[in-house]
Amino acid sequence: MTLSSPFAVIYPLPSHLASRILNGKKSVFVKYPTHETISPKLASCKKLLFYISSSNKEIAGEADIVSIKLMILSDGVSEYGNRLFLTGDELREYSGGRDNKKMMVFVLGEIAKYPEAKCLGRGITMVGEYMSKEEYDDLVGDLI
């Protein structure tokens, strides 16, 4: 199946980090891309789904993607501060010295934790995975 314009992107997160977003405390997600670009496929995505890594291959919730920007670490911290889902120390650890490499900064809206996690049935790598509107509808059904 060819996805010309994916509807959602799925990224894995440890449960404790996903809960910071899904419990409404944080609304900015960051991720280092393979290349310092935002692909047209990613730019077309409307939703970010949170896959709980090391779980039962489940999606715990979702958020609308309001915007995606490329920013270096210090610019992301100064612009979004305590809205970031990682603390300052966690961000420095995650950057691993890549402070001047641009990361993708996702501003999120309409964050929703699913009443029951949805089984995806397969693992998701750190690179993430795209999902079509049909696949998304099949996964969430009438949840939201």
For residue 96, what is the domain's CATH number?
2.30.130.30
pLDDT of residue 121: 80
CB contact set of 81 (below 8 Å; sequence gap of 6+):
none
Which amino acid does the sequence have at 27? S
CB contact set of 34 (below 8 Å; sequence gap of 6+):
127
pLDDT of residue 109: 96
Indicate whether 2 belongs to any domain.
no
Indicate whether 67 belongs to any domain.
yes
pLDDT of residue 35: 83
Indicate whether 131 belongs to any domain.
no
- Does the pLDDT of residue 106 top 90, yes or no? yes
Element of type H or E holding 120? none
CB contact set of 110 (below 8 Å; sequence gap of 6+):
63, 64
Number of folded domains in the chain? 1
Indicate whether 31 belongs to any domain.
yes
The tens digit of pLDDT for each residue in 27-39 reads 999 999 888 889 9
Indicate whether 1 belongs to any domain.
no
- Does the pLDDT of residue 46 top 50, yes or no? yes
Domain region containing 48: 8-116
CB contact set of 61 (below 8 Å; sequence gap of 6+):
18, 21, 22, 49, 50, 111, 112, 113, 114
